[in-house]
Amino acid sequence: MSRLRPAKPGSIHSATLWSVLATALLSALVLGDGIGLNLLVVAVPASLAAYFAARAAGRRLRPWTAVWGAGGLALLVVPALRDAGWPSFLAVVSAVALGSLALHGSRSWPGVFLGSVGLFTSVAPSLGWGARGVRERMAGSRGGWGVAFRSTAVAAVLLIVFGALFASADAAFADVLGNLIPDVSVGEGPWRIFLAALGLAGALAAAYTAAAPVRWDGVTVRPGRARGRLEWALPLIVLNLLFAVFLAIQLTVLLGGYDKVMAETDLSYSEYARQGFWQLLWATLLTLLVIALALRWAPRGGARDRTLVRGVLGTLCLLTLVVVASALRRMDLYVDAYGLTRLRISVAAVELWLGVVLVLIMAAGVFGRRLLPRAVAASAAVGVLAFGLVSPDGLIAEQNVQRYRSDHSIDVEYLRGLSADAVPALDTLPEPLRTCALEEIQRTLRSSDEPWYATSWGEKRARDILGDWDPGFREIGCRGLGSGDNGSERGGEVDDPYDPYDPY
């Protein structure tokens, strides 16, 4: 770390300090009620702290830094739009990784990987850096900072006193004030203090990294020993032949569909589609590992060796793309028979992203590998953002409702566990399916009193649709309702109407 990190930054800038303090204050006030638009509210002063620190250190804004920074802020839009926690969690984690990349400016494979988590290495030194800056200003400002703190405290007291008086004098003003100002109770004091400390440490770490980033690109991986052409190419050519034979058989499935599957195999429809997808997903992942190892030990003798490497690995990438298409086709057949779930849409999205990575690898073989690490990281961020914006829970509900209208069964017990993003589709079900699917979501909405900045647009839309509807107590049992009532999975007899493989 002493070799990779440059000299310690100079004294912390006043603008950076004020931005850090604003981040800590906003974290304490708005993050304790949930996540939504408040993440963006807190991220803005933290980003300003990093910007002021970088400018004071003489760093310039580079194109990729702007891309990573804008992408990280864009990912924080997902919690503000979607009520579902799982895509929001992915978006927040990805936003932190992109923010860390923006601060470090890495470009190599080790640099992109370590730079995405390198922000955490700056937490400890940044605390001392910030404390020294405060002490220097308190000692050398001739009371200027003391005056600022006293003035801020007096202004806060005046706002609280007169705001309370005006709120008690006018109900409309009290309602507006209650919607704008966070409701902080004494019992939440420790929790709010922890959030303030978290925001302070995060903003300070971002500013410290912006001023003195770790040069993760200095971590190098030595290339492997170059192999001879025959020794290197023979195993890969055999693997390409195996892929080609497998895919020639798969073309009948891709083009023939369900009836062709049943005619060619002794497996049931669900067994064929389910088992095949997971095996092909693993085959795609292992192929990427094979490509990485092949590049490490590839012959490097001259133009003929480069042509051999590009031809063999390009063919392998192209054949693997067809494997990706086959896996997605199997998942499509499976979803058509048994409906969409969180696990199925997640692994299909991962398989689709792996296909994008293969295309980027092929492009790197033609145009050069310099941008490949950053392109792969950018594609992952775009995938997470798109996954959150399309509303997975909404798609799941919509697809299952559409299947029900096409005389297929529907698993109400599963759908009732979705988030408020699923309400627009579930609200179109006939009774009593609608009540069974929406009662848990509505009870959660009615018991929630989150402020506007911690409420997602998906939750607000669900409230607008359901209104004041009270599901109350019902004597109708929902368990098993809709499972197999309205037609079998394929319109005929099946041995496995319920899929136990998917726990989600």
DSSP for 55-108, written as a single string: HHTT----HHHHHHHHHHHHHTHHHHH---HHHHHHHHHHHHHHHHHHHH---S
Q: What is the DSSP letter of 219?
A: -
Query: Could you list the pLDDT tens digit for every one of the 504 residues in the chain?
Result: 677 877 788 889 889 999 999 999 899 888 888 889 999 999 999 999 999 999 999 888 899 999 999 999 999 999 999 999 899 999 999 999 999 999 998 889 999 999 999 999 999 999 999 988 888 877 655 555 566 666 666 776 676 667 666 766 766 766 666 665 665 554 566 888 899 899 999 999 999 999 999 999 888 888 788 888 888 899 999 999 999 988 887 776 656 555 665 566 666 655 666 666 777 888 888 999 999 999 888 888 788 888 999 999 999 999 999 888 888 888 887 888 788 999 899 989 999 999 999 999 999 988 888 899 999 999 999 999 999 999 999 999 999 999 999 888 888 889 989 999 999 999 999 988 898 899 889 988 888 888 888 899 999 999 999 988 877 655 456 665 665 433 333 333 343 444 433 433
Q: Is 227 left (phi over 0), alpha (psi -120 to 50) or beta?
A: beta
Instruction: Give whole-number Cα distances, 490 to 259, 480, 486, in Å.
Output: 11, 19, 11
Give the pLDDT confidence score for residue 290 in this predicted structure.
Answer: 93
**Which of 196, 245, 53 is closest to 130 using CA atoms?**
53
Q: What is the DSSP letter of 10?
A: -
Q: What is the DSSP letter of 468?
A: T
Do residues 264 and 290 lie in contact, with contact meaning Cβ atoms separated by under 8 Å? no
Do residues 441 and 418 lie in contact, with contact meaning Cβ atoms separated by under 8 Å? yes
Do residues 217 and 110 lie in contact, with contact meaning Cβ atoms separated by under 8 Å? yes
Angle between helices 144-169 and 123-140 (to 10 degrees): 100
Query: What are 224's two structure tokens?
Result: 């492997």
DSSP for 439-501, written as a single string: HHHHHHHHH----GGG--HHHHHHHHHHTT------SS--TTTTSSTT--TTSS--S-SS-TT
Q: What is the DSSP letter of 430?
A: P
Do residues 62 and 115 lie in contact, with contact meaning Cβ atoms separated by under 8 Å? no
Domain coordinates of the chain in residue numbers?
A: 14-218
Taking the C-alpha atoms of residue 32 and residue 349, their distance in angstroms, rounded to an integer, is: 32
Query: What are 477's two structure tokens?
Result: 């049992």
